[in-house]
Amino acid sequence: MAKYRKTALVGGVPYSPGMEDGITPDGKPFIATLEGNMIISPTDWILTGVTGERWPIKEEIFKSTYEKVEELQK
């Protein structure tokens, strides 16, 4: 079986209050994603895709799936 790697770069930052799109009636922060509203946990990272879409990801999954890329100098 062939193996594939994602080539699109995403932006990522640790979640901090104020990054959410709203709060559920029971007080949980969420982000409106392409798949619907996703609850954010305090240790989640917030990723931004190539078209500006955002989604939360668990810290352990983020760290095992993504690696930092150095910015290109202009």
Binning pLDDT at 50, 70 and 90, where does residue 73 land?
low
What pLDDT sits at residue 4? 76
Any domain includes 6: no
What pLDDT sits at residue 26? 97
- Please give the residue that has the higher pLDDT: either 72 or 61: 61
Q: What is the chain's alpha carbon radius of gyration, rounded to the nearest angstrom? A: 14
Any domain includes 8: no
What pLDDT sits at residue 74? 59
What pLDDT sits at residue 8? 79
What domain count does the chain have? 1
Give me the torsion for CA of 3, 47, 50, 69, rounded to 10°: -70
What pLDDT sits at residue 9? 81
Any domain includes 73: no
Domain range holding 32? 15-65
Q: What is the pTM of this model?
A: 0.81
3-class DSSP string for 36-68 = EEEECCCCCEEEECCCCCEEEECHHHHHHHCCC
Selection from 74, 64, 59, 66 nearest residue 11 by Cα: 66
Any domain includes 74: no
Any domain includes 33: yes
